[in-house]
Amino acid sequence: MIKMIIADDQAIVREGLSLVLGFDDEIEIVLQAKNGQEAVEYLKDNECDIVLMDIKMPVLNGVEATKIIHQEYPNVKILILTTFNDYEYIFQALKNGANGYLLKDTDGKELIADVKKVYNNESIIGSQISNSLVAGLQNNSQQDMIASLTSRELEIARAIADGKSNKEISTMLFLSEGTVKNYVTNIFEKLQLSNRTEVALFMKKYE
């Protein structure tokens, strides 16, 4: 028997999920929690296999509750079920130890199947979530590239984005043109770009 907690601040959602999941003979709902804190408190004295967790809840949200449960009760699986197809929510939940992330438009049969997969140590990421995660990771990679620039390189990259030439940058920053040129070369390498136009577009899009 798979013992489950449903953590969601909306009563109608909790009750609906309990009905859907309760139809399966292998699933037992042991608690309907209004927030992450209630789920954490229950686990102090009771056993549970999976927590079905919403993200935005009062008192203790799903992301923070996931972190606590993963650290204190590592054998408990966590499946996020939410309306938020947002990279930051997805990334933080998975980083904090969630075993899966689904959207609330998932149908009942699929949800039951995914619960059983998570119980059997599989990780579940809905197809829509995968697209958002890939896009977010790509954007995060660009942010890391910008973070790799020194303060001077960042200053020059911003000047390039503003359309300034090496000569204008050298005058503005009291540097020789040769020094500016060296900085620009470093910027090209760190951002994996080949010309000033690409740098300008990159900075406007990702900074």
Give the DSSP H or E segment for 33: strand 27-33
- Same domain, yes or no, for 131 and 165? no
64: domain CATH number is 3.40.50.2300
14-63 tens-digit pLDDT: 999 999 999 999 999 999 999 999 999 999 999 999 999 999 999 999 99
What is the percentage of the chain residues whose pLDDT exceeds 90? Answer: 63
Q: Which of 85, 109, 136 is the last residue of a domain?
A: 136
Q: Say how far apart CA 76 and CA 74 lie, in whole Å.
A: 5
- Same domain, yes or no, for 7 and 108? yes
Is residue 163 left, alpha or beta, with left meaning phi > 0 and alpha meaning psi from -120 to 50?
A: left
Within a domain: residue 179? yes
CA 1 → CA 49, 80, 119, 123, distances in Å? 9, 20, 10, 20
Q: Which domain holds residue 155?
A: 148-206
How many domains is the chain built from? Answer: 2
- Same domain, yes or no, for 43 and 13? yes
pTM (2 d.p.): 0.65
Within a domain: residue 169? yes
- Same domain, yes or no, for 106 and 160? no
- What type of residue sits at position 185? T
152-182 tens-digit pLDDT: 999 999 999 888 999 999 999 999 999 999 9
Q: Say how far apart CA 116 and CA 52 lie, in whole Å.
A: 12
